[in-house]
């Protein structure tokens, strides 16, 4: 994932990434992410606290280890305890008793991980709750609304996520839909001066589709260009290919 700027104003988004050092013989580099709850040195390991907590470790212990950013899951937190309760607790930071930065995903990955419980349409994603079976709609607007209530420092657009093993028309469909959903996320984002919205490059491992997606994104200076390549794919030759320009904007992806 890369970070280059922040849409505090969609017309002129300031950079949030400062490059500290680059290796002249490799693609290795060091940088700093400047976020509302402090600076994060990169490269960085981001612990995943799906339901606002890390399994087997307290927030205080995580802090003492030097962690300055961790991740929460919009889909699961939106179901329980719900954004209203978390907002009353002074946002996800207060709910977790976490003084540092937070990133929330959009809930899109659950299209893959909970594929048997979900249905994707232009409106959004319909899920059957894994907790009680109740059907809910996660639209681009609802995803951003939940993330605005959570108050995370980085929020993700809702994108149409497909498995990295999928090829053919479904990948192209997901790419175009993700671009359309980005427009809806922008319109729904009510805390542009407080939370960095990250747009997501889609297109699977198809170079042409990824280039098309990149060119179709609004021509503004985005916070970051997260890649839809899963951990199991990014270290393969095909996965590494999407990290090269022009598929990676301005050579900023890492």
> What does the alpha-carbon distance between residue 217 and residue 55 come to, in Å, rounded to a whole number?
37
Give dist(CA 25, CA 206) in Å, integer: 28
The candidate with the shortest Cα–Cα distance to 1, out of 199, 238, 245, 146, is: 199
Of the candidates 123, 106, 75, 72, the residue with the CA atom closest to the CA atom of residue 198: 106
Q: How far is Cα 202 from Cα 171, in angstroms, rounded to an integer?
A: 8
Sheet of 118-120: strands edge to edge? Answer: 118-120, 125-128, 135-138
Instruction: Report cis status (omega within 30 of 0) of the bond before 43.
Output: yes
Calculate ∠ Cα 55-47-148, nearest 5°: 100
pTM of the model: 0.85
SS3 11: coil
Closest CA to 220 of 242, 175, 189: 189
Query: Could you write out the DSSP letters of every residue in 145-204?
Result: HHHHHHT-SEEE-------TT--SHHHHHHHHHHHHHHHHHHHH---TTTSEEEP-B--T
Q: Hey, is 178 helix, strand or coil?
A: helix
Which tokens is 155 given?
Answer: 């929020």
Most distant CA pair in the chain: distance in Å?
Answer: 54
User: Taking Cα atoms as reference points, which of 98, 158, 155 lies closest to residue 122?
Assistant: 158
Write out the chain's pLDDT in tens, 254 residues. 333 333 333 333 446 888 899 999 987 889 999 999 999 999 999 999 999 999 999 999 999 999 999 999 999 999 999 999 999 999 999 999 999 999 999 988 777 667 667 789 999 999 888 888 899 999 999 999 999 999 999 999 999 988 878 889 999 999 999 999 999 999 999 998 899 999 888 888 888 898 899 889 876 545 566 665 554 455 566 666 666 655 555 444 44
Candidates 207, 204, 210; CA nearest to 171 is 204
Instruction: Please report the pLDDT score of residue 7 as a whole number.
Output: 36
Structure tokens at 173: 């469909």
């Amino acid at each position: 994932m890369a970070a280059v700027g922040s849409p505090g104003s969609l017309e002129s988004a300031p950079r949030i990434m400062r490059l500290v050092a680059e290796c002249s013989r490799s693609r290795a580099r060091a940088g700093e992410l400047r976020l509302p709850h402090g600076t994060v040195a990169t490269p960085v390991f981001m612990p995943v606290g799906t339901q606002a907590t890390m399994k087997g470790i307290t927030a205080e212990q995580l802090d003492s280890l030097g962690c300055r950013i961790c991740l929460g899951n919009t889909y699961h937190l939106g179901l329980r305890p719900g954004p209203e309760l978390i907002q009353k607790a002074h946002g996800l930071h207060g709910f977790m008793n976490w003084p540092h930065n937070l990133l929330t995903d959009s809930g899109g990955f659950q299209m893959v991980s909970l594929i048997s419980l979900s249905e994707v349409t232009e409106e959004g994603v319909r899920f059957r709750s894994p907790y009680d079976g109740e059907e809910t709609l996660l639209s681009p607007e609802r995803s951003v609304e939940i993330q605005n209530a959570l108050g995370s420092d980085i929020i993700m657009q809702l994108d149409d996520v497909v498995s990295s093993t999928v090829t053919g028309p479904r990948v192209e469909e997901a790419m175009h839909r993700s671009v359309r959903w980005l427009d809806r996320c922008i319109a729904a984002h009510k805390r542009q001066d407080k939370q960095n919205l990250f747009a997501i490059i889609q297109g699977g491992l198809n170079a042409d589709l990824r280039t098309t997606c990149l060119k179709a994104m609004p021509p503004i200076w985005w916070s970051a260009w997260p890649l839809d390549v899963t951990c199991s794919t990014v270290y393969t030759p095909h996965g590494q290919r999407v990290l090269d320009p022009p598929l990676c904007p301005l050579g900023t992806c890492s």
